Amino acid sequence: MSFDTLLIANRGEIAVRIARSARRMGLRAVAVHSTADAGAPHVAACDLAVEIGPPEAARSYLDGPRIIRAARATGAGAIHPGYGFLAENAGFAQACADAGIVFVGPSPYAIGAMGDKAAAKRLMRAAGVPVVPGYDGEEQGDERLLAEAQGIGFPLMVKAAAGGGGKGMRLVHDAATLPDALAGARRESRSAFGSDELLLERAVVRPRHVEIQVLADTHAHCLHLGERDCSVQRRHQKVIEESPSPAVDAALRARMGAAGVAAAQAVDYVGAGTIEFLLDSDGEFYFLEMNTRLQVEHPVTELVTGLDLVEWQLRIARGEHLELTQDQVTMTGHAIEARLYAEDPDNDYLPATGTVARWEAPAGEGIRVDAGIVAGSTITPYYDPMIAKVIAHGDDREQARTRLVRTLEETTVLGPVTNRTLLVAMLRTPEFAAGAATTAFLEEHPPRMPAPTSGDVAAIAAWLYDARRREADRAAPGLAGWSSTGALDSRRRYAIGETIHAVSVHETPGAVEILVGDEGHAVTLDGETPIIDGDARPLRGVELAAGQILVSFDRLDLEIRDVGALPPGALDAIGGGVLVAPMHGKVIAVDAELGAAVVDGQRLVVMEAMKMEHEIVADGDGVLEEIVGDGAQVAAGQVLARIALEETAA
Amino acid sequence: MTVFRSRIDPASDGFRRNRADMLELVGRMRELEAQACTRSDAAAARFHRRGQLLPRERLALLLDPGAPVLELGNVAGYDPEGNGTVPGGGMITLIGFIAGTRCLVIANDSGIDAGSLTTPGSEKLIRACEIGLENRLPVVFLVESAGGNLLTYRVEFWHRAGRMFAMQAKLSAAGIPVITVQHGSGTAGGAYFPGMSDIVIGVKGRGFAFLAGPPLLKAATGEIADAEELGGMSMHARVSGLVEHLAEDDEDALRICRDVVARLRWNAGQPSTGGAFEDPAYDPDELAGVVPVDVKKPYDCREVIARIADGSDLLEFKPDFGAMTVCVEGTVLGHPAGFIANNGAIDVEGAAKATHFMQRCTQLGVPLVFLQNITGYMVGVASERSGMIKNGAKMIQAVATTSVPKFTLIIGASFGAGNYGMCGAGYWPRLIMCWPNARLGVLGAEQAAQTMRMVAAEKAVRDGEPLDDAALDKYAADIAAYYDAQESAFVSSGRMCDDGLLDPRHSRHMLGFSLAMAAESQLTETHPLSFSVARM
């Protein structure tokens, strides 16, 4: 089981992170990449790289035989699958074994046993691990599922039996909406996991999501590394994770830990694994599922336990003994992780694509940033929109929280829209600060996002004016800001969202005044650290193509358009019957025919992008005069449907 | 490095007095400039209601933010008697940057009298075109003009104003792009501004160009026409071919104009001119206090140069020969210049020295900067006998014929032939500006009065008439007043003897700007045509 070369069958931050430990251990790291990722950071992080196909994951990162060939070609004795892609694919684990390559993870049996969510529940029930009431039978017809649902009661969750990560998952509040939910979940499940088998279970209302990290060696030694609280989620995807959980004390930790170890041992688990539980407010917990791989949020466990989970995965894969007793596992301080996604929280979390024009992450004591991007990286529509994890460790929860807030405030990611400011806002809510967040947190306490103030606009104008001034100083050295009339005036109109701000800059020797509308601000120009009315208002910005500007304040990311630099009409909102693709993707359903009368809100097209479904609905009543074809691959911004809107009665 | 050592104490009473006097004059200059802005801005409501921008708002969108601006003819047309004139002549002309390109911009100040053309305005326009031609600056017109004012029509004005369009043709033929943004009406002669341009950007619904607008057309032929159909920009873009780019509004038109200028790639690949430079050792702001506003009081002109030149690093040429004429080598914002200035009248040695210095600068291709504070050439028996006329003539020949760019600042007195030898307006300075304390004249008011009084007295004696001292005194006083009234820089600049008044504290900027422009123009490759770009 010895190997000196490790192939990392993944991409993004996790591939970078695995390479870091592997190389530290003296292993040669081999990256694989699709053609879209040729210049990706994970390629640079490894010693060798092998191209494994076109951008689509199904033809590259999910192409097991090709990855095994790459391992053979590079002399890799082991493959680390990371998370996602092939990490929980028993067939791939078996193929590795057949090829004489070490699969860094549990046995194909364990993967299979836990991968079938329904079977896993039955197994856990048998092993004495508490399980949520539900239906996980093989009979999958709508009628049977509807009948079972009545028995379980609403609200309930529909889940892909083979799934995870929120794909193929629906929360259903009543029987009427169940059939649609079943259809959607089946479609997503089939596309994501190749199986449309579903299971139902009671939705525990306002639970916490608490999971137990386990480590098991090949010598039947298994222990747990405490819990992670992943209650803050959106669309059933984790956003903020922490360890320890504010809701778990030592006694509960011992109970849950023991349950986790029992679950792992029930499938002869080997390596790092995670048992997810729902923790009810009464302290009861229910087995949700086991992730038979490294978790995205493993760093919080690493920071509080001081253990390198990837290193232990590799050592276990080499057959080493886990030389640690449960008593020796200690948890020091508190760690919180925030997932930075390229997605638009204001637009139903639609994944965003594009080039990262600027990326700066702070470093410092108690700060860890696991990033899968660098400045200039392109976020493509092919893979998961998570671009980095920002993690803070502190002596206690509050120190970790404030450290994470500050780190995220200082993080710059400009290009595709991200959830950065939402993360900051969430971490700053009193509910989160108090450790009271449940999985209902985001819905119950949507954080208040700041709107740009006149001073913010003045700061942006000051930064842009200073940038122009520096250009002017290159064109006319020593003369920037000079006018023989004693004053220089420039005017611009900046559009931020729906609002257009008329801005004028008035420079006289030694003084700059900026008017935003009628509001005057005394300004000191200093690049990205302008002083507005005596207050420093630092920002980070980039200018993209003519007239397109992106600016980050600590708690506010803005997209600004210089109206006068853009042709008229460039600002006209899409709408008025023209429906465009919100992102790159594939049309998977078309509900209306050309010439059909449609009504406001009617679903016309379903798109699949980033493995999620997006519904395109009519924005008014009228007649369909253009509609995209089913199965079409569409680009972001492409017109999907055009409705000749009826004149609204005056 | 030869850093000049100043003898001026900015804390002294004399300095403070000078500065207060000078700043009062600067304040007066700013007041005159503000008159045009105030008048024009009063039309804001009307413009904005029509979806238009005021001329200065257009400039604030057109010009590169933070880039330097040199306005020309800031008090052109100023009349101390008033007579309803507005300083500036209803025209804004300036050199500024558009999309990184130094350009000459000519804009009707259409907030005033709907941009109707005035004599000073058209003279300003013609002079601006000359500056554009000589300095190879793309010329951008922002046109909105009701045309010549029919009520104040003067035949000589109309006659001379034709040069405006001739200049457009000359520019185009010389390979200098002529770009017009038609913001408003262009009637009769005004229609030739777009007509004579290489590129026209027309504002839909607001821009018009016709040889006869609807009223004149009706008067002339009885034909009744709608303005839009007769000369609207949409028509010209689609039917007549007068407009290349149709814009939605003023802002859009200026965006297109910036795009058009950017695509000229005017200075593309051109090496940057000028080298690294230091600030002067003495603050240029002190220029307001270095010079007494009373031109009769002497001062050391090197104190001025030391506050203009980089590092106050001056290499004086022949300091001990003809010392009243000062010749100095220095750089301004990294650009070399030969300074010629005055510490008294130009004598024989001074004239010879200045001639020598100019020839040498010409040989090296170094531009000349004249700082005029000159009462004239030295008179007297000794002077005449040692050849003042021929030496002065050599100096004037050298000024008139040198091939290097020349820039003149009148910083004090400018009298008689001294004005000529020191590159007055007649000697093709690329730019000539005055400090507001400057005094100009063929000779000083007092000298003129006393000379004429003596001539009159001699005539009376010759004619055997009694000497009426009181009458002679009045005669002299009237002459002095007549001269005095014309001596002020405000008057001469109002009459466009120069390119404008300048705050002394801006002298280093203005000269650095000018020298950079001259250096650029020498590198700018143009492609002259035998004909202008013909509008098809």
Which pLDDT tens digit goes with each residue over A469-523? 999 999 999 999 999 999 999 999 999 988 999 999 999 999 999 999 999 999 9
Q: Residue B306 pLDDT > 50, yes or no?
A: yes
Least Cα separation, residue B59 to chain A (angstroms): 8
- The pLDDT, as a whole number, for residue B157 is 84
The Cα A481–Cα B502 span in angstroms is 17
Longest dimension (CA), chain B: 82
Average pLDDT score over chain A: 92
Omega before residue A244 within 30° of 0, cis: yes
Q: Smallest Cβ distance to B97: which of A476, A477, A564?
A: A476
What are the φ and ψ backbone dihedral angles of A537, each rounded to 5 degrees?
A: -135, 75
Share of chain B above pLDDT 70, in %: 100
Range A34-51 average pLDDT: 96
- The pLDDT, as a whole number, for residue A574 is 47
Interface test mutation site (partner A, options B54, B506, B510, max chain A beta carbons within 10 A)? B506
Q: Residue A570 pLDDT > 70, yes or no?
A: no
The Cα A65–Cα B69 span in angstroms is 68
SS (H, E, C) A252-290: HHHHHHHHHHHHHHHCCCCEEEEEEEEECCCCCEEEEEE
Range A112-140 average pLDDT: 88
DSSP, collapsed to helix, strand or coil, labels residue B320 as: coil
The two structure tokens encoding residue A571: 């600002």
Q: How far is CA A390 from CA A359, A400, A550, B334, in A?
A: 13, 11, 21, 49
Range B17-23 average pLDDT: 97
The verdict on a CB contact (< 8 Å) between B509 and A479 is yes
Which pLDDT band holds residue A138 (cuts at 50, 70, 90)? confident
Rounded to the nearest angstrom, the gap between the alpha carbon of residue B479 and the centroid of all alpha carbons in its chain is 29
The verdict on a CB contact (< 8 Å) between B57 and A475 is no
- The pLDDT, as a whole number, for residue A189 is 85
The verdict on a CB contact (< 8 Å) between A468 and B71 is no
The verdict on a CB contact (< 8 Å) between B277 and A477 is yes
- Nearest Cα residue in chain A from B334: A477
Range A111-126 average pLDDT: 89
Q: Does A510 touch chain B (CB under 8 A)?
A: no
- Residue position matching structure tokens 């089939």: A190
Q: Which of B333, B394, B336, B344 is nearest to B369 (CA)?
A: B336
DSSP, collapsed to helix, strand or coil, labels residue B369 as: strand
Rounded to the nearest angstrom, the gap between the alpha carbon of residue B345 and the centroid of all alpha carbons in its chain is 26
Interface test mutation site (partner B, options A484, A507, A508, A563, max chain B beta carbons within 10 A)? A484
The two structure tokens encoding residue B425: 């307006």
Least Cα separation, residue A476 to chain B (angstroms): 7
The verdict on a CB contact (< 8 Å) between A505 and B512 is no
Share of chain B above pLDDT 90, in %: 85
A572 contacts on B by Cβ (under 8 Å): none
- Nearest Cα residue in chain B from A473: B67
Q: Smallest Cβ distance to A475: which of B57, B67, B512?
A: B67
Q: Does A194 touch chain B (CB under 8 A)?
A: no
Rounded (5°) CA angle A562-A564-A570? 75
Lowest mean pLDDT of A405-419, A439-453, A481-495, B179-193, name the range: A439-453
Q: Smallest Cβ distance to A469: which of B66, B277, B333?
A: B66
Least Cα separation, residue A451 to chain B (angstroms): 27
| More reliable by pLDDT, B247 or A175 | B247
Q: Residue A219 pLDDT > 90, yes or no?
A: yes
Which pLDDT band holds residue A569 (cuts at 50, 70, 90)? low
On whether the CB atoms of residues A214 and A223 are closer than 8 A, the answer is: yes
Average pLDDT score over chain B: 94
Count CB atoms within 10 A of the CB of residue A301.
30
- The pLDDT, as a whole number, for residue A164 is 66
DSSP, collapsed to helix, strand or coil, labels residue B513 as: helix
Lowest mean pLDDT of A28-37, A107-116, A383-392, A611-620, name the range: A611-620
Q: Does A563 touch chain B (CB under 8 A)?
A: yes
Q: Residue A408 pLDDT > 90, yes or no?
A: yes
Q: Residue A461 pLDDT > 80, yes or no?
A: yes
The verdict on a CB contact (< 8 Å) between B255 and A564 is yes
- The pLDDT, as a whole number, for residue A649 is 38
Which pLDDT band holds residue A429 (cuts at 50, 70, 90)? very high
A464 contacts on B by Cβ (under 8 Å): 65
Least Cα separation, residue B107 to chain A (angstroms): 16
DSSP, collapsed to helix, strand or coil, labels residue A247 as: coil
Angle between helices B250-262 and B55-62 in degrees, nearest 10 = 40
The verdict on a CB contact (< 8 Å) between B71 and A485 is yes
Least Cα separation, residue A211 to chain B (angstroms): 56
The Cα B88–Cα B77 span in angstroms is 6
Q: Does A488 touch chain B (CB under 8 A)?
A: yes
The two structure tokens encoding residue B66: 């933070």
- The pLDDT, as a whole number, for residue B511 is 98
Q: Smallest Cβ distance to B69: which of A475, A488, A493?
A: A488
Range B51-80 average pLDDT: 97
Q: What share of chain B is helix, strand, coil (3-state, %, to 5)?
A: 45, 20, 35
- The pLDDT, as a whole number, for residue A610 is 66
B100 contacts on A by Cβ (under 8 Å): 471, 475
- pLDDT, tens digit, 9 for 90 and up, residues B253-284: 999 999 999 999 998 777 777 889 999 999 99
The Cα A267–Cα A263 span in angstroms is 7
- The pLDDT, as a whole number, for residue A487 is 96
Range A376-391 average pLDDT: 93
- Amino acid occupying residue A85: F
For strand B368-374 and strand B406-415, is the pairing parallel, antiparallel, or unpaired? Answer: parallel
On whether the CB atoms of residues A478 and B47 are closer than 8 A, the answer is: no
Q: Residue A639 pLDDT > 80, yes or no?
A: yes
The Cα B317–Cα B324 span in angstroms is 12
Which pLDDT band holds residue B182 (cuts at 50, 70, 90)? very high
SS (H, E, C) A276-335: EEEECCCCCEEEEEEECCCCCCHHHHHHHHCCCHHHHHHHHHCCCCCCCCHHHCCCCCEE
Lowest mean pLDDT of B353-367, B382-396, B442-456, name the range: B442-456
B506 contacts on A by Cβ (under 8 Å): 482, 484, 486
Q: Does A468 touch chain B (CB under 8 A)?
A: yes
Range A580-596 average pLDDT: 84
Q: Does A478 touch chain B (CB under 8 A)?
A: yes
Question: HSE of A206 in the Cβ direction (CA atoms, 13 Å)?
Answer: 8
Q: Smallest Cβ distance to B513: which of A479, A493, A564?
A: A479
A505 contacts on B by Cβ (under 8 Å): 65-66
Q: Residue A648 pLDDT > 50, yes or no?
A: no
Radius of gyration of chain A (CA): 27
On whether the CB atoms of residues B54 and B43 are closer than 8 A, the answer is: yes
Q: Which of B275, B288, B272, B285 is nearest to B523 (CA)?
A: B272
Interface test mutation site (partner B, options A491, A512, A566, max chain B beta carbons within 10 A)? A491
Range A242-247 average pLDDT: 96
DSSP, collapsed to helix, strand or coil, labels residue B475 as: helix
Q: Residue A643 pLDDT > 90, yes or no?
A: no
Range A388-405 average pLDDT: 98
Least Cα separation, residue A504 to chain B (angstroms): 8
Q: For residue A359, list its beta bridge partners.
A: A413
Q: What is the DSSP string of B375-413?
A: --B--SHHHHHTTHHHHHHHHHHHHHH--S-EEEEEEEE
- Asked whether this complex has an ipTM greater than 0.90, the answer is yes
The Cα B253–Cα B251 span in angstroms is 5
The verdict on a CB contact (< 8 Å) between B255 and A567 is yes
Range B315-334 average pLDDT: 97
Which pLDDT band holds residue A611 (cuts at 50, 70, 90)? low
The two structure tokens encoding residue B322: 């003809």
The Cα B496–Cα B75 span in angstroms is 8
- The pLDDT, as a whole number, for residue A585 is 81
Q: Does A493 touch chain B (CB under 8 A)?
A: yes
A283 conformational bin, left if phi > 0, alpha if psi -120 to 50, beta if neither: left
Least Cα separation, residue B255 to chain A (angstroms): 6
- Nearest Cα residue in chain A from B31: A485
Contacts of A532 (CB under 8 A, 6+ apart): A455, A458, A459, A462, A514, A521, A522, A523
Q: Residue B188 pLDDT > 60, yes or no?
A: yes
Q: Residue B536 pLDDT > 80, yes or no?
A: no
Q: Residue A283 pLDDT > 60, yes or no?
A: yes
- The pLDDT, as a whole number, for residue A497 is 86
Interface test mutation site (partner A, options B52, B509, B515, max chain A beta carbons within 10 A)? B509
- The pLDDT, as a whole number, for residue A641 is 87
* B175 burial via Cβ count (<10 Å: 0-12, 13-18, 19+): middle
A488 contacts on B by Cβ (under 8 Å): 65-66, 68-69
Contacts of A323 (CB under 8 A, 6+ apart): none
Q: Smallest Cβ distance to A485: which of B74, B251, B334?
A: B74
Which pLDDT band holds residue A314 (cuts at 50, 70, 90)? very high
Range A394-420 average pLDDT: 97
Interface test mutation site (partner B, options A460, A470, A479, max chain B beta carbons within 10 A)? A479
On whether the CB atoms of residues A368 and A299 are closer than 8 A, the answer is: yes
Q: Residue A572 pLDDT > 60, yes or no?
A: no
Q: How far is CA A488 from CA A358, A491, B67, B69, in A?
A: 31, 10, 8, 8
Range B224-235 average pLDDT: 95
Question: HSE of A280 in the Cβ direction (CA atoms, 13 Å)?
Answer: 13
- The pLDDT, as a whole number, for residue A650 is 36
The verdict on a CB contact (< 8 Å) between B251 and A563 is yes
